[in-house]
Amino acid sequence: MNKNQLKKRIKDKELQIKKLDLHKTSSEVCSQLYNTLILEKAILKKELDELEKNIFVESIKKVLPRKQKLICDYFKS
């Protein structure tokens, strides 16, 4: 599947989610369908991310060591 098809399918899922958003609390079936659509959208987004990854850059990142961030690094000013 190419990028344009994936983007179109993601837009379709977003439209379906928007339509079901109002009804998700009204019944169990709507709630389950809403959750299923959310999962399907997440899967499609992940597939799109995988297509957009640069394989060369990813292989270099695996070879080069990176510095791990510690939790205290977030609190430094």
Query: What mean pLDDT is predicted for residues 3-11?
Result: 92
CB 10 within 8 A of CB 45: yes
Calpha distance 77→67 (Å, rounded)? 19
Strands (E), 1-77: none
Q: Which two tokens stand for residue 64?
A: 């080069």
Picking from 14, 13, 31, the residue whose alpha carbon sits closest to that of residue 22 is: 31
More confident of the two residues 14 and 25:
14
Q: What is the pLDDT of residues 31-68, one digit of tens each?
A: 899 999 999 999 999 999 888 887 777 777 778 777 78
Q: Residue 48: CA atoms inside 13 Å, Cβ hemisphere, count?
A: 15
- Domain segments of the chain: what residues? 3-75
Per-residue pLDDT, averaged over 66-71, amounts to 78
Q: Give pLDDT, residue 43.
A: 94
Whole-prediction pTM:
0.68
- Higher-pLDDT residue of 73, 11: 11
